[in-house]
A = this chain, B = another copy of it.
């Protein structure tokens, strides 16, 4: 578990930007082209392309060039799943630790 995971790095980093989380939410409602993603964001096509690139590098989205358009869709759910597992695992030890702390407090008074 302690092995440093580049996948986790990329995934968490990709999720750390509201613009990118917005793209994911948008893609959750169906595929979109780069222009369609850029529209509501107020960003340049280039800016969007970079964000999508980061999301794609993390495996969170997949893109495909069809005609003169690049279609973006969500990637395999396993990528998010890995990040979710990390959080769940550590949240358990977290709460375990808090339990121990509370027992310690009770025992001390």
Interface residues of A, Cβ cutoff 8 Å to B? 1-2, 4-5, 8-13, 15-18, 21-22, 24-25, 28, 30, 74, 77, 80-81, 83-84, 86-88, 90-91, 93-95, 97-98
Contact = CB atoms under 8 A, between A and B. Distances in A.
A53 to B, nearest CB: 16
Report the copy number of this chain in the oligomer.
Answer: 2
A84 B77 contact: no
Given A4-B22, A9-B16, A77-B94, 12 more contacts: A1-B25, A4-B18, A8-B18, A9-B17, A25-B90, A74-B97, A77-B95, A77-B98, A80-B90, A80-B94, A83-B87, A84-B88
Which one of A4, A22, A94 has the highest number of Cβ atoms from chain B below 10 Å of its Cβ? A94
A60 B21 CA distance: 20
